[in-house]
Amino acid sequence: MTEQYSDSIRANLRLLPSIDRLLNEANAADLVAHYGREPVRDALRIVLDAAREWIRQGGQPPNSNEFFQTALEVLNRQFAPTFRPVINATGVILHPQLGRAPLSDAAQEAILAVASGYSTLDYRLDAGKRGNRETHVEELIKSLTGAEAALVVNTNAAAVMLTLVALAQERETILSRGQLGESDGGFRVPEIVSRSGAKLVEVGTTNCTTITDYVEAITPQTALLMRVQAAAFKQIGFTEQPPLKELVSLAREHNILVLDDLGSGTLLDTARYGLKHEPTVQESIEAGVDVVTFSGDKLLGGPQSGVIAGKKALIDKLKQHMLTRAMRIDKLRLAALIATLNHYRLGNVETQIPVWRMISMPAEQIRQRAESWAAEVGGDVIASDSVIGGSSLPDEVLPTFALALTVSDPTDVAARLRKQSQLQPVITRINGGRVLLDPRTVLLGQDAELLRTLRLVLGLSVL
């Protein structure tokens, strides 16, 4: 049955212009030049449909300027990127959802340098012929870790998978039940081992595994012993795991290999910063492991990548495997990784790599920044804790100071801070009914932008 409308509603509906007429108006020219004709046509169709519904409910027809203003709002929403920079004021240094490690200035410059033109990615200037991208970074990794050789792929999960496929496929990999964890993003150790084609042999219990457990599990089908650093969780109470050197000694007796998956892969002693000691890559190599894998975008402080270091004969085998090409690192991340590793060689990690600058930041400096924010927008400066995050050093905290905002609806304020479209979004946390902002994870140089966003959301004058 046809819906009946009053004469005035029908008359107003007839006043609505056609899409073609709107597209021919002068106001459409700028929109078409910026967005293209078809997206503008689609936006105007949305606006016209909304206008018809508005008129049917008794509203008046929009004028021409209102049509195009609404169409512009539709286009802005459609073309607004969902992948955008944000200010991390949560106090979580390696925030899994916010991109983990921010890159150093040198790493950013290195990316721009190779992105804006051609490069020697797979080319040798000295010989004038094809080269190999691994050579650009391998010597750096060797010199920093003491490994005989190294290979870089796109993630640590890929590094572990490639190693298992190449060295243990259709053979046994022995692993303690206490290390069968899952990190953020769904990286489950048992599934990785299974999908690699290796047969997982679990030994010990969830809290206690001895060297005898490994001895009794070794068979002629055993390819390697695997250790996984429990980076995403912490066991407390009665726990036991054999030292890495004992695993290496046992493996040598039986002519099998040792794979050490460090996950975070730090090159620095975290105990120097008041944190629990995280096993370093250098310690694994010194202990004699055959292959060690770790991430580039966690405690290393670089781009997303997975590093494989160890014995030359084994790394060479990995380089020749057919999966290596599918897992290889791209030129932008390779450039950033080289620049990041150079900070370690130059000894300026704490001043140049943001992750380590945050970890080593003095509490007094953090307090002063929080107080300067409070002087601008109000609130209280309180003692709090920062965390490492990113499946690194679980439950380890760094004492910090935070700006605490007492507002009527903290959930609403936090939502408006992160949903900012005019200014840079700010990601915060809520604790004790207050919105907290931790200066430790706000990059140097972002204070002014953070304060502008705060002023806008809190209804203060925006300078």
Question: How far is the C-alpha of 328 from the C-alpha of 158, rounded, in Å?
Answer: 9
Token pair of 296 as six digits: 């580039």
Residues 346 and 360 in one domain: no
Residues 136 and 202 in one domain: yes
Question: How far is the C-alpha of 338 from the C-alpha of 140, rounded, in Å?
Answer: 8
CA dihedral 294, 298, 300, 302 (to 10 degrees): 110
Residues contacting residue 89 through CB under 8 Å, at least 6 positions apart: 426, 427, 428, 429, 436, 437, 438, 439, 441, 442, 450
Residues 300 and 210 in one domain: yes
Residues 231 and 321 in one domain: yes
pLDDT beyond 90 at 370: yes
Question: How far is the C-alpha of 252 from the C-alpha of 169, rounded, in Å?
Answer: 20
| More confident: 449 or 264 | 449
> Could you tell me the pLDDT band of residue 1, with boundaries at 50, 70 and 90?
very low
Q: pTM of the predicted model, to two decimals?
A: 0.89
Residues 376 and 394 in one domain: yes
Strand partners, 430: 435
Strand partners, 187: 183
Residues 203 and 64 in one domain: no
Strand partners, 292: 260, 309
pLDDT of amino acid 231: 59
Domain annotation covers residue 32: yes
Instruction: Answer for the pair 340, 104: CB distance below 8 angstroms, yes or no.
Output: yes
**Cα separation of the two ends of the chain:** 58
CATH number (domain holding residue 418): 3.90.1150.180
pLDDT beyond 90 at 220: yes
Strand partners, 381: 403
Give pLDDT tens digits for 150-183: 999 999 999 999 999 999 999 999 999 988 877 6
* CA-derived radius of gyration, the chain: 28
pLDDT beyond 70 at 457: yes
Query: Residue 6: what residue type?
Result: S
Give pLDDT tens digits for 140-150: 999 999 999 99
Into how many domains does the chain fold? 3
Average pLDDT over residues 220-236: 82
Domain annotation covers residue 436: yes
Give the sign of the dihedral formed by CA 274, CA 279, CA 280, CA 283: positive
Question: How far is the C-alpha of 175 from the C-alpha of 180, rounded, in Å?
Answer: 8
Q: Name the one residue in this structure whose structure tokens are 């604790």.
A: 431
CATH number (domain holding residue 309): 3.40.640.10
Give residue 200's domain range: 103-352
| More confident: 343 or 462 | 343
Question: Of 326, 251, 327, 323, which Cα lies nearest the Cα of 291?
Answer: 251
Of 333, 352, 371, the residue at which a domain comes to its end is 352
Residues 373 and 259 in one domain: no
pLDDT of amino acid 170: 95
Instruction: Answer for the pair 223, 257: CB distance below 8 angstroms, yes or no.
Output: yes
Residues 330 and 426 in one domain: no
Domain annotation covers residue 2: no
Question: Of 155, 174, 365, 271, which Cα lies nearest the Cα of 280?
Answer: 271
Give pLDDT tens digits for 37-57: 999 999 999 999 999 999 999
pLDDT of amino acid 2: 47
Residues contacting residue 341 through CB under 8 Å, at least 6 positions apart: 137, 140, 141, 144, 302
Domain annotation covers residue 463: no
Of 328, 352, 376, the residue at which a domain comes to its end is 352
Of 352, 376, 405, the residue at which a domain comes to its end is 352
Dihedral pair phi/psi, residue 185, rounded to 5°: 90, 5
Give pLDDT tens digits for 386-403: 999 877 887 789 999 999
Residues 180 and 285 in one domain: yes
Give the number of residues written for the chain.
463
Residues 193 and 107 in one domain: yes
Q: Is 235 left (phi over 0), alpha (psi -120 to 50) or beta?
A: beta
Residues 22 and 131 in one domain: no
Give pLDDT tens digits for 411-429: 999 999 999 887 899 999 9
pLDDT beyond 60 at 232: no
Domain annotation covers residue 1: no
Give the max Cα distance, the chain: 96
The CB-side HSE value for 289 (13 A sphere, CA atoms) comes to: 28
CA distances from 332 to 7, 99, 121, 303, 309 (A): 64, 16, 10, 9, 21
Residues 184 and 257 in one domain: yes
Domain annotation covers residue 186: yes
